[in-house]
Copies of this chain bind each other. A is one copy, B any other.
Amino acid sequence: MSWSEQVLTELSAEGHRLTGPRRQILEYILRYTAPFTAEELLADLHQTEVQVGRATVYRTLELLQQHEWLRLVHRPEGEHGYVVGEPGHQHHLVCRACGKVTMFEGCELETLLGGLAERLHFRIESHWLEALGVCRSCQVAGS
């Protein structure tokens, strides 16, 4: 079952409608290999025969992010971009050369943050971890 099929299934199960624009956006998103913004997606869609309204793009991306099918990461330039994700706890490695994102799960931060929280009397509820560097293919290309 592909990513877009999974998303459509879950959305439908929650009572959301599977409209044409949503299907088209879902399909188009998969073309991206690097984080993208709502404006970029909108502009790219307008280059094609697909004509989707600005509001719909923003609404759809936010809906997907709330369901964790999309995630926010910091792009090397500084702003936030969306990347395709899976529900559950996960973090990202962002390549500053090509922008590609590598996911990894199972971070062992809980113990580290647990000790810290106890020491500072701070109740930690969630954390944001992200690494910036150079991916394998860009290392090869650069050397």
Residues of A that sit less than 8 Å from B by CB: 74, 93, 95-96, 102, 104, 107-109, 112-113, 116-117, 120-136, 139
The smallest beta-carbon distance between A111 and chain B, in angstroms, is 10
State the CA gap A121–B3 with chains docked (Å): 26
Work out how many copies of this chain go into the complex. Answer: 2
- Asked if A117 and B136 make an inter-chain contact with CB atoms under 8 angstroms apart, the answer reads no
- Asked if B136 and A132 make an inter-chain contact with CB atoms under 8 angstroms apart, the answer reads no
- Asked if A134 and B125 make an inter-chain contact with CB atoms under 8 angstroms apart, the answer reads yes
Closest chain B residue to A127 by CB distance? B131
- Asked if A116 and B104 make an inter-chain contact with CB atoms under 8 angstroms apart, the answer reads yes
State the CA gap A116–B136 with chains docked (Å): 13
The smallest beta-carbon distance between A76 and chain B, in angstroms, is 10
